[in-house]
């Protein structure tokens, strides 16, 4: 949560200090490195599963051996990662649509990432051990500390006029240094007996094979997400500017996704239990209730930004970027379509039959990338939003037309009704702010900054819509009580 909030406020600071093009270079470098983390091969989930299982069985010796072999595995992966980053630094100039001077800066970022690659990958082993031991509070404290330090680094960068490379070096070092407290905590809690890499591949194999079964699905999910800034950097006429615009548009939707991210972790254990009991009435009641309630939450998160997209962009990074508002609004609209399906999709995952899901996700991913690339020269940022929206819509259609009926035997019209019932009042409530159409000129008598005026205008529209929406929900008896939700 803290990381997302800090990220929300640091974008305009970094954008204003480095400028649009250089900020775009930072985003390209981090997107390339983020995509390379697919080489994790699903180990993050698999290792946590088996470390937890062996801990419950009291098999500490096996945890020690596999954890030390995991270190060896990540060292090998980091070497491949380093080779890829260095290759991009040496031969990648023609790959990205940036000037020669911009690529020289991008090259320095790739070298910095390569320098810390091994530390970053090996840190994953210790994080897995801590999560498996239910030490999430400790890892969150460390991540929160890093986030606070990031804020301090931004202040030092602006005050001390650090260059892009200097800022990126200290930022990457700050993230890498997390390995020190993680190693200390693992040793103190006897989660690992030695930091020396080992080669117990026969015992490690069971974790790897299980992880590979999850890898294909995550491959296409991550590709659909992480490829967008890379595609913009390659196919747009001015890649750095396009990626910078995309990062601005991305902030609000990412914040909404982060706030909604807890839904799946809440639903999955519950749906797994229900499938074991195979109580059809219980499953139907769960899907109906939680599809409606999830849709209400997502509407509350998305509609204010859809209605006042230009105002929030202007307040965030300045009115010169207001042209990006329509793409943020479109993205938020498609988020409502995507996130409303979380309760039913948790049933699909709990069912465990993911082979068909992998193939459909692959097709959706490829189509979205083609759409993104083909439109990138015409509407740079729009191509990324439309491309990813295409990915989401394809999967939603697949869920309704195939998975919900074949694997869960759910009444699809029941799901559609549970989704539409909260949507219709939300659209009706939006008519008033759209018709009234308040303008920033109403604050001309106020001696405040332009950005504050945009924030006030956004707040008025948001409150107006929310009041009307709440009244309509109560009229249609769609607001569930807290007592009902606890059941």
Distance CA 349, CA 356 (A): 12
Task: Give domain limits for the chain.
Answer: 2-199, 215-486
Query: Per-residue confidence at 265, pLDDT binned at 50, 70, 90?
Result: low
**Helix extents (H) in 278-379:** 280-307, 309-317, 325-339, 342-351, 355-375
DSSP character at residue 194: -
Q: 467 and 433 in contact (C-beta within 8 Å)?
A: no
Summarised one tens digit per residue, pLDDT across range 121-140 is 999 899 889 888 878 788 88
Query: Per-residue confidence at 6, pLDDT binned at 50, 70, 90?
Result: low
**List of long-range contacts for 385-389, beta carbons under 8 Å, 24+ apart:** 385/249, 385/327, 385/330, 385/331, 386/330, 387/228, 387/231, 388/224, 388/225, 388/228, 388/331, 388/334, 389/330, 389/331, 389/334
Distance CA 333, CA 427 (A): 11
Is 352 in a helix, a strand, or coil?
coil
Burial class (CB in 10 A: 0-12, 13-18, 19+), 210: middle
The number of beta carbons lying within 10 Å of the beta carbon of residue 319 is 15
> What are the b/e assignments for 451-481, b being 16+ CB within 10 Å?
eebbbbbbebbbebbeebbeebbeeeebeee
Query: Per-residue confidence at 482, pLDDT binned at 50, 70, 90?
Result: very low
Look at residue 9 and tell me whether its pLDDT is greater than 70.
Answer: no
pLDDT value for 224: 81
Distance CA 201, CA 1 (A): 37
Q: Which position has the higher pLDDT, 370 or 55?
A: 370
Query: Per-residue confidence at 435, pLDDT binned at 50, 70, 90?
Result: confident
pLDDT value for 272: 63
Query: Per-residue confidence at 101, pLDDT binned at 50, 70, 90?
Result: confident
Q: Please, which residues have CB within 8 angstroms of residue 291's CB and are 6 or more apart in sequence? A: 340, 341, 343, 344, 415, 418, 419
Task: Give me the helix-helix angle, 309-317 and 450-475, nearest 10°.
Answer: 140
Look at residue 7 and tell me whether its pLDDT is greater than 90.
Answer: no
Residue that is written with structure tokens 């051996």 in the block: 65
Look at residue 283 and tell me whether its pLDDT is greater than 90.
Answer: no
Give pTM, 2 decimals: 0.71
Summarised one tens digit per residue, pLDDT across range 238-253 is 888 888 899 889 888 8
Q: Please, which residues have CB within 8 angstroms of residue 148's CB and are 6 or more apart in sequence? A: none
pLDDT value for 367: 95
Query: Per-residue confidence at 29, pLDDT binned at 50, 70, 90?
Result: confident
């Amino acid at each position: 949560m803290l990381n997302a909030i800090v990220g929300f406020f640091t974008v305009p600071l970094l954008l204003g200090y480095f400028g649009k093009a250089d900020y775009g270079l930072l985003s390209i470098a981090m997107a390339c490195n983020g995509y390379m983390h697919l080489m994790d091969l699903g180990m993050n989930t698999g290792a946590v599963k088996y470390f937890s299982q062996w801990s419950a069985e009291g098999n500490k010796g096996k945890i020690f051996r596999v954890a030390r072999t995991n270190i060896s595995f990540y060292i090998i992966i980091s070497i491949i990662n380093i080779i890829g980053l260095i290759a991009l630094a040496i031969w990648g100039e023609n790959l990205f649509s940036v000037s020669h001077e911009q690529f020289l800066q991008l090259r320095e970022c790739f070298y910095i990432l390569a320098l810390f690659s091994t530390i970053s990958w090996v840190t994953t082993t210790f994080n897995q051990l801590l999560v498996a031991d239910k030490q999430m509070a400790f890892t969150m404290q460390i991540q929160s500390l890093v986030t606070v330090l990031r804020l301090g680094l931004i202040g030092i960068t602006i005050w001390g006029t650090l260059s892009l490379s200097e800022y990126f070096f200290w930022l990457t070092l700050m993230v890498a240094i997390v390995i020190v407290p993680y190693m200390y905590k693992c040793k103190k809690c006897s989660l690992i007996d030695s930091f020396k890499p080992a080669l117990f591949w026969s015992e490690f194999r069971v974790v790897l094979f299980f992880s590979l079964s999850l890898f294909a699905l995550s491959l296409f999910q991550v590709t659909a997400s992480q490829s967008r800034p890379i595609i913009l950097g390659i196919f747009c006429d001015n890649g750095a500017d396009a990626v910078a615009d995309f990062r601005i548009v991305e902030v609000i939707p990412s914040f909404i996704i982060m706030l909604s991210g807890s839904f799946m972790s809440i639903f999955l254990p519950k749906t797994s239990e229900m499938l074991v009991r195979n109580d059809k009435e219980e499953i139907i009641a769960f899907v109906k209730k939680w599809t409606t309630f999830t849709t209400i939450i997502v509407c509350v998160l998305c509609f204010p930004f859809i209605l006042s997209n230009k105002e929030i962009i202007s307040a965030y990074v300045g009115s010169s970027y207001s042209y990006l508002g329509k793409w943020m609004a479109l993205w938020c609209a498609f988020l409502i379509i995507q996130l409303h399906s979380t309760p039913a999709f948790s049933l699909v995952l709990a069912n465990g039959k993911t082979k068909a899901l992998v193939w459909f996700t692959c097709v959706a991913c490829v189509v979205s990338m083609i759409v993104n690339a083909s439109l990138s020269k015409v509407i740079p940022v729009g191509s990324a939003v439309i491309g990813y929206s295409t990915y989401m819509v394809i999967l939603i259609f697949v869920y309704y037309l195939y998975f919900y009926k074949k694997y869960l035997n759910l009444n699809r019209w029941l799901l559609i009704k549970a989704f539409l019932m909260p949507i219709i009042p939300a659209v009706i409530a939006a008519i008033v702010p759209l018709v009234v159409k308040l303008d920033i000129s109403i604050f001309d008598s106020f001696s405040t900054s332009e950005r504050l005026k945009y924030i006030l205008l956004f707040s008025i529209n948001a409150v107006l819509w929310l009041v009307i929406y709440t009244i309509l929900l109560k009229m249609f008896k769609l607001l569930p009580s807290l007592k009902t939700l606890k059941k």
